[in-house]
Amino acid sequence: MLAILVGTSVFAQKKPAISGTVKDAVTGETLVGATVLVKELPQTGAATNAYGFYSLTAAPGAYTIVYSFVGYAPTSVAVDLQKDTVFNIALNPKSDLQEVVISNRRRGNENVQEAQMGVEKLDMQQLSNVPVIFGEKDILKTISLLPGVQAAAEGNTGYYVRGGASDQNLILLDEAPVYNASHLFGFFSTFNSDAIKDATLYKGGMPAQYGGRLSSVLDVRMNEGNNKTFTLDGGIGLISSRIKAEGPIEKDKGSFMISARRTYIDFFLKAASDTNVRNSSIYFYDLNAKFNYHFNDRNTIYLSGYFGKDVLGLRNTFGTNWGNSTGTLRFNHIFNSHLFSNTSLIYSSYSYLIQSFLVENQFTAKSAINDFNFKEDMQYYINATHTLSFGINAVNHDLQPGQVSSSTATSRGALNNAQSRRGIESAAYVDDQWRLSSKINLRYGLRLSGMFLLGPGTFKTFDDLGNTTSSQTYNSGSLVKRYINLEPRLSLSYILNEQNSIKLSYNRNTQNIHILNNSNSSTPTDLYVLSSNNIKPEIGDQLSAGYFKNFDDNAFEFSVEAYHKWLQNQIDYKNGAQLAGNPDVESQLVYGSGRAYGLELYLKKRYGRFNGWISYTLSRTEGKFAAIDNGNYFPNRYDRTHDISTVGIYQLNKRWTLSATFVYGTGEAVTYPTGKYSVGGVTTYYYSSRNGYREPSTNHLDLGATLEGKPHPKYHSSWTFGIYNVYNRHNPYIISFRDSKTNPGTSEAVETSLFGIVPSATWNFRF
Amino acid sequence: MTGCQKVVDLKLDNAASQIVIEANFTNIRSAQTVTISRSVPFSNTDNFPPVTGAKVTIQENKGITYSLTESTIPGTYTVNNVAGRPGSTYTLTVQADGKTYTAVSIMPQMVSFGPMTFGNDVFNKTSKAVSVHFADPPGITNQYHFVLYINGAQVKNIYVADDTFTDGSNVDIDLYQNDVNVKNGDQVIVDSQGIDRNIFYYWFSLSQQQGEGIGNGAAPSNPPSNISGGALGYFSAHTSVIQTSIVR
């Protein structure tokens, strides 16, 4: 009886909350990460979630609530808070660029205050000024300019976060996983930056709502579309063009956005003198579409989709085409001032076909992966000190690794039907953001993840040598293998003062979908496999610590972060692995462990006529396999000792903005010969330790300039110019060894590089 | 603007010189040869010093042992006028420079090959491609290795095949290469070998590392040798069918 009385009295004295959605006044787009502060309570604050929703609890009283967001004029609202109140706010964008830059308003220090560390929130406005190859705004290229993130070497796809392999990164586009986020050698991103509202990269301290990959999560949210007026944006460039149309379905209630891109670089190839080049095809296209409808202030539905395809055929060398499709249906429901829910149904599909015509290594590889995913995420804003997030997630994977292939001597009709595989990955999580005191913010959570490998199929178990030790056939839906893992997550920030903090974090992640790569270069011979009776889930533990400091009224951000990762159940191919035409790929694998550690330094100037950043990462990533190099640690191919990125953006005047990027990275770790001998009439190279050498470094300087068009009532235009690799350095793509042609009877090393200096120009318009 | 190659000077270390044993034992009554040499630093010319004064024997099953004697060519050890027998197990023993190396290889059963044919090389319009044809014996695992000679010069490509998908079928294999242009009137010799599984892995591993540029093969490593004791190279007991033809 007493307990119930206490319970109800506590409930009766529950503090009231202010909640609502923050949007852009001009387009109606919800704003992600907008700040909501209470002037009278400096310790109280909130930020809008991925759907623009916020909730803030305070004792009853009279307050001034201040809403602000980068690039927008802040708004204040006076309230006499006695009960739960809803304020839906529209912020006006700053129209004058100068004003944004020199603004006197209070600048945020969230990077110092939040418990979250190892997170980079991309500034989509700043992104438009960073020069990248072919003049394409590209979030994947831009994130590689941040500390702890490395772009794959020129011409290769993927990126590496804190020493993790490129398949350890999860990329979400409106909650749907994107399996191959690059077009054409990694030079164009799958993401049309015009369509993106928000992008956040978690490289450490990953909150419990994310899982499934060891190293990072890039959470990308697309624009919903202007729900007030129709607009048309686009750009026409030397190599590719893009267009975006958006507008209201019903004014202020629903909107759509459709954007498309295509390259036409192959039209230029037709002018080449070389027949092989002339008969090659290189193009890609992609399409983003999104629809949303607000039934009322509490219920919104979203439908988004992405379709993309790459076709690449270099005659006599290889041909490949691949494509991603994703579709997401989401439903937001706001229960009350404290409880927000999002339900998602997601479809994601990726398939590729690769043919190598190289005389020495002919094969055709075809692979597809289809996912169906259900997610339910809830956010419960309990009070001023606790915000609880919890949810469940289940994804059904269908893998078709059908690899049709032939060995080096073309056997016509060599056909391999590797069996399809089906598995269900599921997770449940709970996470609390706890403002322990004015000095300590804590974020802790637990994720329970499960992997269920299902029939139908014949499942063989292999020993260390690749011999089959058992073989069992299962019916459709039968459980073949189950793995359950607990993933604790913890982040803590200790605030020394408003401008300085120390942060610590620990997280465990597991991964059940693995991409096997057996290539010396990164041309994809990638195979997707699920955890199985042979392959255990990969497990990663990361510990990181950092010191964060803002100065000059938050105009400068500085941080130093150190991390150490322990990786278990890492997978590699055994030496001399036979993949061509092998239906039992799992018999060719070896298992081991890995570790990665590093130090990241970062200095960023956020505001001002001149802004930009410098980032430096010193790191090491290694593998340890009993079957390789006698079980000694060896550097991973993508180990990069030094990684330096500098970006500078200078607003010359109202119309011109200039920018420059300089990057430097230690060369990849490679295996070189340390001797040679003759067998079978052929000079053969003798190799010693795995990845014991470094390729020459990669470095390049890129320049860019944006010219805003003269103001015009009906439309807005601008020009973007760029020069990639200004000093024309031929950065190494691959180094190989052969008998010398100029000096017969000797051997030589040959370096192949892809791109020298590449200029670009794009005309952009908006109606 | 795009794509170029250049020769570079890399500062490569020099590993200690390794012993290299190339041992072949075929079913054709002839001189059977084992060559023993040493590896050299990468920057050296392709002169591989022979290992002389070695003691080389090959034993058939648990029976007869052939002793190979060093011929007039240093580093080459031969036994004349002997033939291997399909189905037998052969053991090689080499004592050289104070160390002993052994290897075991099983000679497969004979497979016969049809006449070779010539067709268009899809990758090299100006050249012809040689094709071999045979009936794979059903019910047993077979592995093959083909060595191609054009006008007496060995083509550098390594050709291997097994019967994982062609067991018991009629097989046609096109020997593509871009080393030499093959024209009408050229003399072509093909040595079609039936090899054991270990030798298949050896040649296959080597073939994966051939080639350069985009689409290159696996991360380089030393091919798995069937010789114990730390030698590079191989011991292959195989059936051999040698065919000669003129391109037309």
Tell me the pLDDT tens digit for each residue of A346-372.
999 988 887 766 554 556 667 789 999
Residue B174 confidence (pLDDT) = 85
Residue A103 confidence (pLDDT) = 38
**Nearest chain B CA: its distance from A529 CA (Å):** 19
Nearest chain B alpha carbon to A414: B165
Beta bridge partners, A50, equal none
Question: What are phi and psi for residue A553, nearest 5 degrees?
Answer: 55, 50
Tokens of A439: 């000095």
Residue A406 confidence (pLDDT) = 52
Q: Does residue A670 have a pLDDT over 90?
A: no
Residue B143 confidence (pLDDT) = 93
Nearest to B171 among A361, A411, A678 (CB): A411
Contact A671 B46 (CB under 8 A): no
Query: Quick one: pLDDT band at residue A94, thresholds 50, 70, 90?
Result: confident
**Nearest chain B CA: its distance from A734 CA (Å):** 7
Instruction: Please count the CA atoms within 13 angstroms of the CA of B175 that sit on its side-chain side.
Output: 30
Residue A417 confidence (pLDDT) = 62
Q: Does residue A160 have a pLDDT over 70?
A: yes
Least confident of A167-181, A513-527, A571-585, A650-664: A513-527
Name the architecture of domain A119-766.
Beta Barrel (2.40)
Report yes or no: A517 at the B interface, CB cutoff 8 Å: no
Which of A699, A719, A701 lies closest to A760 in space, CA to CA? A719
Which of B85, B67, B55, B90 lies closest to B226 in space, CA to CA? B90
Report yes or no: A518 at the B interface, CB cutoff 8 Å: yes
Query: Quick one: pLDDT band at residue B55, thresholds 50, 70, 90?
Result: very high
Residue A98 confidence (pLDDT) = 43
**Nearest chain A CA: its distance from B109 CA (Å):** 21
Pairing status of strand A299-314 against strand A281-296: antiparallel
State in words which class domain A14-106 has. mainly beta
Nearest to A677 among B201, B203, B232 (CB): B232
Residue A133 confidence (pLDDT) = 61
Contact B160 A407 (CB under 8 A): yes
The pLDDT > 70 percentage for chain B reads 94
Q: What is the DSSP letter of A30?
A: B
The pLDDT > 90 percentage for chain A reads 46
The pLDDT > 70 percentage for chain A reads 86
Contact B18 A675 (CB under 8 A): yes
Query: Quick one: pLDDT band at residue A682, thresholds 50, 70, 90?
Result: confident
Residue A456 confidence (pLDDT) = 92
Residue A7 confidence (pLDDT) = 39
Contacts of B223 in chain A (CB under 8 A): 576
Q: Hey, what's the torsion of the CAs at A606, A88, A233, A100, to 10 degrees?
A: -30
**Nearest chain B CA: its distance from A696 CA (Å):** 9
Secondary structure of chain B in HEC code, one letter for each residue: CEEEEEEECCCCCCCCCCEEEEEEEECCCEEEEEEEEECECCCCCCCCCECCCCEEEEEECCCCEEEEEECCCCCEEEEEEECCCCCCEEEEEEEECCEEEEEEEECCCCCCECCCEEEECCCCCCCEEEEEEEECCCCCCCEEEEEEEECCEECCCCEEEECCCCCCCEEEEEECCCCCCCCCCCEEEEEEEEECHHHHHHHHHHHHCCCCCCCCCCCCCCCCCCEECCCEEEEEEEEEEEEEEECC
Nearest chain A alpha carbon to B38: A677
Pairing status of strand A17-24 against strand A240-250: unpaired
Give the Cα separation of A533 and A543 in Å (integer). Answer: 30
Interface test with B, best of A358, A404, A723, A757 (most B CBs within 10 A): A358
Give the Cα separation of A580 and A418 in Å (integer). Answer: 12
Q: Say which residue, A130 or A481, is predicted with more confidence.
A: A481
Q: Say which residue, A41 or A360, is predicted with more confidence.
A: A41
Residue A633 confidence (pLDDT) = 95
Contacts of A756 in chain B (CB under 8 A): 1-2, 4
Q: Does residue A489 have a pLDDT over 70?
A: yes
Query: Quick one: pLDDT band at residue B48, thresholds 50, 70, 90?
Result: very high
Q: Does residue A151 have a pLDDT over 70?
A: yes
Residue A262 confidence (pLDDT) = 87
Tokens of B57: 């024997």
Residue A689 confidence (pLDDT) = 82
Residue A467 confidence (pLDDT) = 84
Interface test with A, best of B36, B216, B234 (most A CBs within 10 A): B216
Nearest to B173 among A409, A582, A676 (CB): A409
Contact A686 B232 (CB under 8 A): yes
Collapsing DSSP to helix, strand or coil, A101 comes out as helix
**DSSP symbols for B39-55:** -B-TTS-S---B--S-E
Query: Quick one: pLDDT band at residue A427, thresholds 50, 70, 90?
Result: very high
Give the Cα separation of A131 and A145 in Å (integer). Answer: 11
Contact B178 A359 (CB under 8 A): yes
Every domain of chain A and the residues it spans: 14-106, 119-766
**Nearest chain B CA: its distance from A591 CA (Å):** 16
Query: Quick one: pLDDT band at residue A732, thresholds 50, 70, 90?
Result: confident
Tell me the pLDDT tens digit for each residue of A210-269.
999 999 999 999 888 888 899 998 888 877 888 999 999 988 889 999 999 888 777 666
Tell me the pLDDT tens digit for each residue of B70-110.
999 999 999 999 999 999 999 999 999 899 999 999 999 99
Tell me the pLDDT tens digit for each residue of A615-649.
999 999 999 999 888 899 999 989 999 999 999 98
Nearest to B15 among A682, A688, A748 (CB): A688
Query: Quick one: pLDDT band at residue A157, thresholds 50, 70, 90?
Result: low
Tell me the pLDDT tens digit for each residue of A548-576.
998 887 789 899 999 999 999 999 888 76
- List Cα–Cα distances, B224 to A573, A574, B137, B201, in angstroms: 14, 11, 26, 7
Tell me the pLDDT tens digit for each residue of A299-339.
999 999 999 888 877 766 667 788 889 999 999 999 999 99
Q: Does residue B213 have a pLDDT over 80?
A: no
Query: Quick one: pLDDT band at residue A141, thresholds 50, 70, 90?
Result: confident
Interface test with A, best of B2, B21, B47, B116 (most A CBs within 10 A): B2
Q: Does residue A750 have a pLDDT over 60?
A: yes
- List Cα–Cα distances, A485 to A126, A507, A538, A539, A540, in angstroms: 40, 13, 10, 9, 12
**Nearest chain A CA: its distance from B47 CA (Å):** 8
Residue carrying structure tokens 């039934």: A295
Q: Does residue A8 have a pLDDT over 50?
A: no
**Nearest chain A CA: its distance from B19 CA (Å):** 9
Here the ipTM equals 0.93
| Region of residue A71 (left: phi > 0; alpha: psi -120 to 50; beta: else) | left
Residue B215 confidence (pLDDT) = 38
pTM: 0.87
Interface test with A, best of B142, B221, B225, B235 (most A CBs within 10 A): B221
Tell me the pLDDT tens digit for each residue of A369-407.
999 999 999 999 998 889 999 999 999 999 987 655 554
Tell me the pLDDT tens digit for each residue of A263-283.
877 766 666 556 656 667 778
Residue B157 confidence (pLDDT) = 87
Restricting to A residues 723-762, those with a Cβ less than 8 Å away from any Cβ of B are 730, 734-740, 742, 745-758
Largest CA distance in chain B: 67
